[in-house]
Amino acid sequence: MARISIEQKHIFVFLLVVIAVVATILIYKFHESKPLTTYTYYVYDNYGNRYGIPMAFRADLRKASNVSIYPDISSIYNIIWNENTKNIIIVFANSSDNGLVATDAFEIAYKLGVIFKVYNMTTNFTPNVISSYDNIIANESYPVIALIPPSLTNDTSVLAINNVIYIQGNTTEGFDLATIKFLMSVLSIKVG
């Protein structure tokens, strides 16, 4: 039987590599498990200077990035950033979730309002109570964001049809995540 000889320096190098791999995995797992609830949106002025606008979100951006969006992100983006957009109408039906709807409507109007001001856009927001989500009429100048809270839906998603964007969540967290997914789509926020 042949005897294998391993020098101490090889053992030391092997142990260092194992420790480095384990440390890297632990750091990655810790970083990924920590919720990402802030984001800095960067804009440039006419002179090429970059400015950051810090934004806080009520839920994890990584979780929100997994919310389904139909037909695609660019459809949502194009509805809001259309040069003809004058007023964005935020609609909702009365429900037991009116407080949640008001919070998410405010988050949408506030965050987009700040960014619109940076770009000197005069787009306004108008809330409107509706009796039904059927037959909502919208156009390029007056797109509609329809907020559908957990008490009125079994789905969590963002859906765009004919200049109407439906934001819906089947739980409080799902509704917040769908709202954040909408904002991420409109503001081109990408997370890993």
pLDDT for 43 equals 87
- pTM as predicted: 0.82
Q: Which helix (H) or strand (E) holds 167?
A: strand 164-168
Ordered structural domains, the chain, with CATH: 64-186 (3.40.50)
Classified as helix, coil or strand, 45 is coil
pLDDT tens string, the chain, 192 residues long: the values are 556 666 777 677 777 777 777 777 666 666 556 889 999 999 887 788 898 999 999 999 999 999 999 999 999 999 999 999 999 999 999 999 999 999 999 999 999 999 998 888 888 999 999 999 999 999 999 999 999 999 999 999 999 999 999 999 999 999 999 999 999 999 999 987
